[in-house]
Structure 1
Amino acid sequence: MTQASTAPQVVDWSAAAQIAARLAAPGPQAPRDELDALVGGLRAAAGDAVGHVLETTRMSPGPWGEGGGGALSPVAVVDRATWARANTQSMAVMTDGIGAVVAQVSKSAISPGAQLAGAAEIGAVLALLSGRVLGQFDPYSGPGRLLLVAPNVLQAERALRVPVRDFRLWVCLHEQTHALQFTAAPWLSGHLSGRTRGLVVSMARTSAELAKARFDKKIVMIGRSVFDALRGDGGTIIDGMLTHEQKSELADITAVMALLEGHADVMMDAVGPRVVPSVRRIRARFERRRDGEGRNTFDIVVQKLLGMDAKLAQYRDGAVFVRTVERTVGRDGLNAVWAAPENLPTAREIADARAWVRRVHG
């Protein structure tokens, strides 16, 4: 794991990790042999997915994505608490240096109490999210690693009543596509973290709401804004804190996140029924689950509070962008998006894919 520096942190990330892990629910129970089969099946699916993803996307992983055995990145099958802890570590790396700016603007050192307030906020949210994430590629842990959240995969399999081998491979196709995105475009992780850090620093310097808040409230608000910006979520509580320029920057960060999610969604289905025989049934049932089918009122409220509705919009907006570009210039033309930072779509272009095609392809 890449370590953040010893500069002042806006959040006590160690405490955030402990809080998130402690609050994360363990998930569904199963006999030991079933759990062993789940872990082994996920590892096998992650390996099987690589070749299919490379063939389908027509992307090259680049020199640092060509690991031993054809792997794009290390794979870790984890529980919810481990996923939550891993995310606090990645966020600490991505936000390194922001604490010094906040303290400078506030003309006051960041107290341990204020850091703990931010830790409690982010730890609690990560604990809730830990029950909803099937997998995640983490580009900020050394060369990157793929996390597969075993209890959530098990829970989804049971709820959807789909063939487990197909479902595990389908999930891994999505996550290995994310791994390929970052290995094919090795500048992407630094680009995203730099833009996010720049946005949050700008907010700390200009937000009138922050200026009027008590210092401990500033830290909680900054901590939450860090979390929201890292996830690329618009339409959250931070909207009222942003200037016009900052809203535009957040919208463009959100556009990149939409590209990443939409591209992975399209490619996982494009592999097709030859590889995942029940792919159409899985997609139909999964979309109904995303839309809230079978969820109780509490789950729906939590989903809204976590900004998951905005996240679902990213998947769908990004998928429409990818399909429209492919219909216009083909898959190889789409892959120009990974060539350089300036080729990433803006917020306007995510909604108007042909504008991206005109700008990039002429």
Structure 2
Amino acid sequence: MPQPTAGFGPQRTRRFQIGGPWPGTPPLTYGWRMGSDIPFGFGNLGGDMPDPNDPRVQQMMQQLQQMMSQSMSSGPVNWQLAKQLAESELEAENVVGPADQAQVTEAVRLADLWLDSAVNWPSGVTATDAWTRKQWIARTENSWKQLAEPLAAQMGEAMQTLVPEEMAGMLGPMADLMKGVGSALFGAQMGQALAKLAGEVLSSTEVGIPLGKTGVAALLPGNIKAYAEGLELPVEEVRLFVALREAAAHRLFTHAPWLHAHLLGALEAYAREIRIDEAAIEEAMSDMDPMDPEAAATLDLSEVFKPEDTEQQKAALARLATTLALITGWINVVVTEAVGERLPTMDRLMESARRRRATGGPAEQTFEALVGLQIDPAKVRAATRLWQLLAEARGVEGREAVWAHPDLMPSAADLEHPEGFATVSEALEDLDLSMFDQLAVNDPKDEGDEPEDK
């Protein structure tokens, strides 16, 4: 299956091919324009109408029926299709051998040793692993389900509101078929996204959240080697740099147990507000001749979803952007402090990491595609500065105490004035913050999120 015609994310062009991954089936490729405000980027699904008598079309329909039968019971995203498409797009690569495993284990061990001097928490790593790209896809599937399914499910439910209640019972199996179509389309989108990310990601936490099992620090040796070659730097130093960031992320998420739920809660809060714009549908359909296939093919489905985020969605995105910036900024600070003068290429590695984020690294690609969030590099720089100032004002222990509970965390406004947050935080130094540790464990919900229905 060919690579997508553009990068993963909104406002790009995708091409979806049916038939390529299955032996003996010629590929049929149709394009769609990705909408800028729609999760998963679904926009115009139009194109030239295929000839139903074309043998290729008949073969495609047989494969589509098989795909639909799988989608009926696959939930909001057809993950079997997603994995199949993702793996079909990946180039062949060597398996991870004992030497790779040993190198990753040693790099993480050394990284953890260096971090002990910069972080007030013990290691969060309980095991290490080295993954191929296909292993990354397989071993992060559960996390992708947590990230993507709330959005896909809400979009599917929103589409169901287009069917009048008096007609819903008459549709019968057709309603299930439409759910299967949506599940397959979401699966196709995720497959393309996962394939592109698998070719770039360096570790299990690089997207901004741990994707593998808790405490398992995992690196992708093949991608790290390619990354090092692109930078013209020794692969050993690049591997150690990636291991430092991976080990730091595991410490943070282990000792701030509310953080994972906080990020997922922001995505779920965004998903709850996905709505169908019925007025836009009526306007689009009013001048369309239902008997004219060309008119139906050019219907722009990007207008189906409300073109602007609600206030609740804007708040969820702001919370998500701030938290991701704070995570990256904290990792920047502790890794820099841990390395000191021990890594000769540290400045070049940090600069390459900044450029990677600014041009759309794995974290930026992930959240832009899921909810259209563009992470501002200026926020990351401000968050890095904030953690530096906070350590100067309160020490390492005082800096880490802020992660005890979401109510203590800097806000988006604090990132605009990091000096002010550090100054105010000095007044908290004498407070007993231990009570927040238990609160964070017992009540990991995001502030502002609605309670789940019982």
Q: TM-score, normalised by structure 1?
A: 0.72
Matched, 1:12 2:81: no
- Give the superposition deviation at 1:23: 1.6
Within the alignment, does 1:111 sit opposite 2:173 as a pair?
Answer: no
Alignment of 1:326-337 (within 5 A): 326-337=391-402
Pairwise CA distance, 1:189: 1.3
Q: CA separation in 1, counterparts of 2:279 and 2:259?
A: 30
Contact 1:9 1:97 in 2 (8 A): no
Aligned twin of 1:42: 104
Work out the number of aligned pairs and report it. 311
What are the equivalent positions in structure 2 for 1:1-362 lying under 5 Å apart? Answer: 9-26=75-92, 37-60=99-122, 65=124, 72-94=125-147, 101-105=154-158, 106-107=160-161, 111-137=179-205, 139=210, 141-202=212-273, 204=274, 206=275, 208=277, 212=281, 240-284=307-351, 287=354, 310=375, 312=377, 315-357=380-422, 361-362=426-427
Aligned-residue identity in percent: 23
How far did 1:183 drift? 0.6
Q: Is the 8 A contact 1:13 1:89 kept in 2?
A: no
Amino acid paired to 1:117? L
SS in 2 for 1:147: strand
Q: Taking structure 1 as reference, are residues 263 and 251 closer, same or farther at Cα in structure 2, changes over 3 Å only?
A: same
Shift of 1:131: 2.1
Cα drift, residue 35 of structure 1 = 6.7
The farther-off stretch of 305-314 and 343-352 is 305-314
CA separation in 2, counterparts of 1:341 and 1:270?
Answer: 25
Task: Write the distance in 1 (CA, Å) between the matches of 2:116 and 2:346.
Answer: 18
1:75 is displaced (CA, Å) by 2.1
CA gap 1:320/1:142 in 2 versus in 1, 3 angstroms: same
Cα pair distance change 1:102/1:272, threshold 3 Å: closer
- Select the structure of larger CA radius of gyration: 2
Residues 215-254 of structure 1 show CA distances to partners (whole Å, capped at 9, x for unaligned) of: xxxxx98xxxxxxxxxxxxxxxx99441123112201111
Amino acid at match of 2:191: G
Greater Cα offset, 311-320 or 192-201: 311-320
Relative distance call for 1:192 and 1:98 in structure 2 (3 A) is: same
- 1:310 maps to amino acid: I
1:51 positional shift = 2.4
Shift of 1:162: 2.2
SS in 2 for 1:18: helix
Q: How far apart, CA to CA, are the structure 2 residues paired with 1:162 and 1:129?
A: 22
AA aligned opposite 1:335: E
Q: Quote the Cα distance in structure 2 between the aligned partners of 1:309 and 1:104.
A: 26
Structure 1 residues 14 and 361: alpha-carbon distance in aligned structure 2, compared to 1, 3 A threshold:
farther
Question: Which shows bigger deviation, 145-154 or 254-263?
Answer: 145-154
- For the structure 1 residues 342 and 44, does the alpha-carbon distance in structure 2 shift closer, same or farther, using more than 3 Å as the test? same
2 CA distance for matches of 1:356 and 1:273? 26
Gaps of 5+ in 2: 1-71, 162-174, 286-300, 360-364, 428-454
Secondary structure of 2:91's aligned partner: coil
Mapped partners of 2:320, 2:151: distance in 1: 18
Provide closer, same or farther for how the CA distance between residues 209 and 276 of structure 1 changes in structure 2, counting only shifts above 3 A: farther
Could you say which structure has the higher helix fraction? 1
Unaligned runs of 5+ in 1: 1-5, 66-71, 215-219, 222-237, 293-301
Q: Give, as a single letter, the amino acid of the residue that structure 2 aligns with 1:119.
A: G
Inter-partner Cα distance in structure 1 for 2:318 and 2:333 = 22
* Native 8 Å contact 1:12 1:119 kept in 2: yes
Residues 269, 313 of structure 2: 8 Å contact kept = no
- Structure 1's 200 and 176: CA in aligned 2 closer, same or farther, altered over 3 A? same
Which secondary structure state, in structure 2, belongs to the residue aligned with residue 310 of structure 1?
Answer: coil
Kept after mapping to 1: 8 A contact 2:402/2:409: yes
Q: For residue 171 of structure 1, report the CA deviation from its aligned partner.
A: 1.1
Task: Classify 1:41/1:135 alpha carbon distance in 2 versus 1 (closer, same or farther; 3 Å).
Answer: same
The answer for the alignment partner of 1:232 in structure 2 is none
Q: 1:129 to 1:100 in 2, by over 3 A?
A: closer
